[in-house]
Amino acid sequence: MTVPDGCNLLRNIKLKISYDGTNFSGWQRQSLSNGSRTVQNEIERALEKIHKKSIPLIGSGRTDAGVHAVGQVANFHTDILSIPAENFVPALNSILPPDIRILESSEVHSGFHSRFDARERTYRYFIHSLSAIPAHEFPYCWPLFRRLDIHRLNDMASVLSGEMDCSVFAAAGDKSLSRSRFFYGAHFFPEGSKLVFEISANAFLWKMVRSILGTIIDFEKSGKGRDDFLALINSGERHKAGQTAPAKGLFLWNVRY
């Protein structure tokens, strides 16, 4: 769908997208016949309504079933000239279901590609370690019901820096050509009564953030630390990693270009 630079027949529109993943089978388009609701399907259906024809949407990457987003990025090519770029926000939001909200839209150069041009993806994971979680926050966090040692957690998180082989965090069925990823950083910080895990990398394997977090949380509980975590990564032995944290605590937070 990319057009050569200088070709002005099509405008290229970049969207910043938020969604509540609770009732979605993830981002990725699926055959409508199987009945699953996906974010890409819903937005492409809204674009089709505006354009009276099928318009493919290019996302920065997939998010899994149940994962939320406040900073997903996607782009599409359009030959509609009458809608100012920023007006795709209200135009799409008026058609989309309330669990998808377009936050920004802007015109970008014709060669811009949401996936190939993305340099850094940032995720945030929200943990509640208290027993008392307000009901309206329950769908967006992992309730752990125990006190966590944030110093020990950050000691393990600090290992995730630079280029690393991430085979140990690959989900069964992962088909990636390379499992090497470049980490910009990972850390835990408190936010009100929540604990937030933020992690940034050039890209992530399927379910990788949830596998990293679940492992760090399991290691903290069993008294393991930084050296054990590093040894695990170097071993590449998937069965030694910890649980996969629940999807509902995870947000795709930002994509940098």
Q: Which residues bind its own copies (CB under 8 A)?
A: 18-20, 68-70, 89-90, 93, 98-101, 103-104, 131-136, 138-140
Nearest CB to its own copies, comparing residues 105 and 215: 105
**Residue among 89 and 148 whose Cβ is closer to its own copies:** 89
Shortest Å, Cβ 18 to its own copies: 4
149 is catalytic: no
Candidates 234, 243, 193; CA nearest to 215 is: 243
Residue whose CB is less far from its own copies, 35 or 98:
98
Closest CB to its own copies among 18 and 110?
18
CB of 99 vs its own copies, minimal distance in Å: 5
Query: In this structure, are residues 219 and 242 in contact, taking their beta carbons and an 8 Å threshold?
Result: yes
Q: Which is nearer to its own copies, 9 or 132 (CB)?
A: 132
Distance CA(202)–CA(76), nearest Å, equals 22
Which is catalytic among the residues 5, 20, 64, 174?
A: 64
Burial 59-74 (b: 16+ CB within 10 A, else e): bbbbbbbbbbbbbbbb
CB 207 within 8 A of CB 243: no
Give bridge partners of residue 73 from the DSSP assignment: 16
DSSP line for 147-194: ---HHHHHHHHTT--EEEE-GGGPPTT---S--EEEEEEEEEEEETTE
Q: DSSP states of 195-248 as a string?
A: EEEEEEES---TTHHHHHHHHHHHHHHTT--HHHHHHHHHHT-GGGS-PPPPGG
Q: Give least dist CB 3 to its own copies, A.
A: 28
Q: How far is the CB of 134 from its own copies (least distance, A)?
A: 4
- End-to-end, the C-alpha distance of the chain in Å comes to 19
**Is the separation of the CB atoms in 171 and 147 below 8 Å?**
no
CA distance 116 to 112: 8
Closest separation in Å from C-beta 90 to its own copies:
7
Q: Any idea which residues carry the catalytic annotation? A: 64
